[in-house]
Each structure stands twice: as C-alpha cells, then as structure tokens.
Structure 1
Amino acid sequence: MRAGTNPTPTPRRRVALLGGGFSSDDDGLLDDWMLSHVRTDWPRVCFLPTASGDAPEYVERFLDAFRPRRHCMPSVLPLFQRELDNEALRTHLLSQDVVYVGGGNTANMLAVWRVHGVDRLLREAYDRGTLLCGISAGANCWAEGSHTDSFGPLTFLRDGLGLLPGSVCPHYDSEPGRSPSYRSTVAAGSLPAGWALDDGTGALFTDGRLTETVTRLPHARVHRVEPDGRGGADEQALECRPLP
C-alpha cells in the first residue's frame, strides 16, 4: 500500500431476522426497518421464494409490497423454474443490496439451494456486505440450526448456512408448542443456544453479534434461550425498541 492511502474498509456482514413483514403485516414497519439499514438510494432487493416452492401468490405479494410503496428495485429469483445460467445467477445475486428470503419449508429450501449453488453465493454476498434477511424459514436458514416444522411435527434441524452462531426459532409466541418445544430442545443439547422471535419483532446481527432488536407490537419480544446446566433452559426476554 502506498504511503498516504487508506485501506478499503471491510464491509459489515449483516443478517436481519424478521418476525413478520410484507407477507403477514399491513403496516410494513418491519420491512421499512430492514431497509433503513441499507445506506444507498434505490437499493436492489431480491426475493427468494424457494421455501414456498416459488408460490406465485407469494411472489405477487412481495412485488405488490415493494414495487409501488418503496424506493427500491425489487426482483425475484425462482429456482423451480430457473431461467438464469450459473454466471448470470451469480451476477444477479452478488449485485443485490438486500436478499430477502420467504417462509415455507426450511429443510427443502436448503436442499434446493445447495443443488443450485445458491448457498455458496449467499455466503459470498454476505462477505461482500449484502444485507441478508427473511421471515420464518427465511430467518431459520442463516444460523447453525433451527426449530422447524419442515418434517411435520415441531423438531430440530441441525442444518443451516452457519452465518450466525447458534440456533433460531420463529413464531415463538404464536404457534402452539413452539416455546416449550424449543426450550426443551436447547436444554437437551439437540440445538445450541439461540434466539427465539415472537411475531412482530426483528433482530439485526452485525458480524455475527446481535446489535439491534425492535418490535411493532407492545407485547412481542426477542428471546435468548440457553441451557441452564441443570437439564433445563434459561430464557431472557430482550428489550426491543418500539417501531413507530
């Protein structure tokens, strides 16, 4: 490096876990919060609907929410009827400011991503500073493991991209059995300690560390769940900034 020159700053690697968004909320607060962390005008936002099998109605809801209402350039990456070759796929994903992953079946989504090499491209995008985010399966996928109903009954999935340490549990307060099942799974060591999101909350991780928690509902919280060393689990409800 020449004297007097400054090194290129290392991009911040960020993941936003969403307990809601365009698919479930009318106010758009969580999506607006997520976009507030993208420091560019007219960000490029790519939706991956893989977990839903690229459901057309889900795609339309995304486009309806992002195309007219927000200053961004939305796009959709289908894999069940894939149109891009490997080079074009890589170019498209790595040109995005945000990759937004939808809900559905976590296990199936991860398997499809690996067949198409999307898992490797998402890791590369993450290292380059693309904001990765998602709801439900789209929140589960970034951690080492997750709590999921991908196989029918609620169970653990010791599989994920591993960009975040630990595990994730979505729908913590809204789906019957989620809370006790996740706590018992962590207590037994089937999943590592992790983060449970009530519907209506958001959690931002920067370089693998939790840096912000928000909520659009007065009662909703992000929870930290860890084994207590006595065969049970400790749970801590974190303070969340209310979204306006």
Structure 2
Amino acid sequence: MLVCILICGGTLVAVVLERRLALLGGGFSTEDDGLLDDWVLEQVPVPRPKVCFVPTASGDAPAYVEQFFGAFRSRSCEPSVLHLFRRELDDDALRAFLLSQDVVYVGGGNTANMLAVWRAHGVDRLLREAFDRGILLCGISAGANCWAEGSHTDSFGPLTHLRDGLGLLSGSVCPHYDSEPGRRSSYQAAVANRALPAGWAVEDGVGALFTGGLLTDSVTRTSRACLYRVQPGRDGGVEEQAMQCRLLGAAQKPTSIA
C-alpha cells in the first residue's frame, strides 16, 4: 500500500494507492454476457474509467481490437488501444498515455513474444509504474500470465513452464485450467517438481482480484468454474485448493469449495 500526499485547496490530503491486478478467465473475447468485463469496471470508482486494451500478445490483431471496441464502446468508459507493432507514440507520450489510464486490459496470445516486445519498448517498466500508481492491471490468458513470476504456457508449441514474467504477483499462473487438454496435469507437474513456484490456476469464466499481493475477491460467471491455489505437496505431489467464488449475475451466490 502506498500513500500519496496531495494539496487540495491548501489542505494536505493523504490518498491511498493500492497495487491491484486481476486475472481473468474470460471476458469480451470469449463470452457474450459481459459479466467479467462489468466486474472489472466495478473495481474502478470513477464514473467513466479510461480502459486501455493492450493486444501485443496477438500481434495487435485488428479483429481482436475491433472486438474490444465493440464490447466497451457501449459501456460507461473511455476505451483505447495501445499499438506497439505500428507504434506512433514516442517514449514520453507513451508513458503519459499509459499512466493516464484507470484500467490496463491485456489480451491473449503468445506470452513469451508479448513480454519480449514489451521489454523492447520499455512497456514492462511503464506497467510497473502504473501498478505502483494504483492503476488496475488485468488480462486474459497471456494477459493473466504476464503479471506473475512464472506461468504455464503454449508460447513455444507444447505446454511448458515459463519462468519469466513481470513479477507483480508472486508465484505462477496457469490459464485455461479446465478447458484445454493437458493443462491441469502439466501445470501440476511443473509445480510439483519446482519448475514453477506455487500459484493460481484459473478456469474459464473466473475472475480473481489481488490487492497488495493478496487475493481479495474471486468471482465466476458459471457455477462450474473455479479458482485454485496449487502448491507443492508431500512426496513429490501437489496440493490443489479450490477457492470460494462469488457467482456473478442474478443469483450472486458463492460456489461451493470442492
């Protein structure tokens, strides 16, 4: 937690800036109900939050960008996109643009390629600065992987571990835990043999909010989806703990813990 001292009308005011990020198992690119995207916007206490979509992992795919605008133009927010493959902003303008946002929403694609491009343009450093300033960072798939120390990825073809990330969230992340063949067993094996540190496995349909490095909210758009804490267990195995998730939508009931 950071405290920023501001002067308002000659009075010193202390403003608490919390470091927050969210892991998404869905959103505008995979679902039509908009529940997870609405949940993201609810985390920002301003009337029309500025939401910047970062599609680097997909190579700034035009169809992905249009899908984002199609979903967020109708919401009470100010959507924008950061293009890096056809970059137009100089360093100062890029920094000013990112730090003016309320939400940075990172899309899916190739985690390893995305991190390399970010570092070439200094975006990794700017995202750390945004995080320190209390800007909400979130994303799906590669956009969830990137915030942790390591992740489970298919960036190189077969599923494998990637001990590379921004490290804003301690441990590791595994997306698509329930929907892609081999994800669950491969991630558990990586955690069991210490190729990846203990971490969070995100099933499709789940959202997890971390504040100051701690899990402070977990939600799901379907009663079948869950968030798991996966860590090394005894005798070379793993321990998988299902976290209680609030069900989004009309029911608003927590899912049971397996």
How does the TM-score come out when normalised to structure 1? 0.97
**Aligned-partner residue type, residue 60 of structure 1:** E
1:18 counterpart = 2:27: no
- Residues 156-201 of structure 1: per-residue CA shift (max 9 Å, x gap): 0000000000000000000000000000100000000000000000
CA distance in 2, matches of 1:9, 1:95: 17
Q: Deviation of residue 143 (structure 1)?
A: 0.3
- Residues 88-125 of structure 1: per-residue CA shift (max 9 Å, x gap): 00000000000000000000000000000000000000
4+ residue runs over 4 A deviation:
none
1:107-186 aligned at under 5 Å gives the runs 107-186=112-191
CA distance in 2, matches of 1:40, 1:200: 25
**Aligned-partner residue type, residue 56 of structure 1:** P
1:195-210 aligned at under 5 Å gives the runs 195-210=200-215
Identity over the aligned pairs, expressed in percent?
71
**Aligned-partner residue type, residue 196 of structure 1:** A
**Aligned-partner residue type, residue 146 of structure 1:** S
**Aligned-partner residue type, residue 189 of structure 1:** R
Residue 10 of structure 1: SS of its match in structure 2? strand
Residue 84 of structure 2: SS of its match in structure 1? coil
1:191-230 aligned at under 5 Å gives the runs 191-230=196-235
Residue 9 of structure 1: SS of its match in structure 2? strand
**Aligned-partner residue type, residue 105 of structure 1:** N
- Residues 184-235 of structure 1: per-residue CA shift (max 9 Å, x gap): 1000000000000000000000011111100001110000000003201000
* 1:37 aligned to which of 27, 37, 43: 43
**Aligned-partner residue type, residue 96 of structure 2:** T
Tell me how large the CA RMSD over aligned residues is: 1.4
CA distance in 1, matches of 2:61, 2:81: 11
How does the TM-score come out when normalised to structure 2? 0.92
Residue 138 of structure 2: SS of its match in structure 1? strand
**Aligned-partner residue type, residue 169 of structure 1:** C
1:79 counterpart = 2:70: no
- Partner residue, 2:55: 49
- Partner residue, 2:255: none
**Aligned-partner residue type, residue 140 of structure 2:** I
- Partner residue, 2:64: 58
- Residues 24-44 of structure 1: per-residue CA shift (max 9 Å, x gap): 000000000011000001110
CA, structure 1 residues 42+7, in 2 after alignment: closer, same or farther (shift >3 Å)? closer
- Partner residue, 2:99: 94
**Aligned-partner residue type, residue 97 of structure 1:** D
Query: Structure 1: 5+ residue runs without aligned partners?
Result: none
Q: Deviation of residue 8 (structure 1)?
A: 1.9
- Partner residue, 1:106: 111
**Aligned-partner residue type, residue 76 of structure 1:** V
CA distance in 1, matches of 2:23, 2:90: 29
CA distance in 2, matches of 1:218, 1:44: 31
Q: Deviation of residue 10 (structure 1)?
A: 2.9
* 1:240 aligned to which of 221, 240, 245: 245
Q: Deviation of residue 9 (structure 1)?
A: 2.7
Q: Deviation of residue 6 (structure 1)?
A: 5.4
Residue 14 of structure 2: SS of its match in structure 1? coil
Query: Structure 2: 5+ residue runs without aligned partners?
Result: 6-10, 250-258
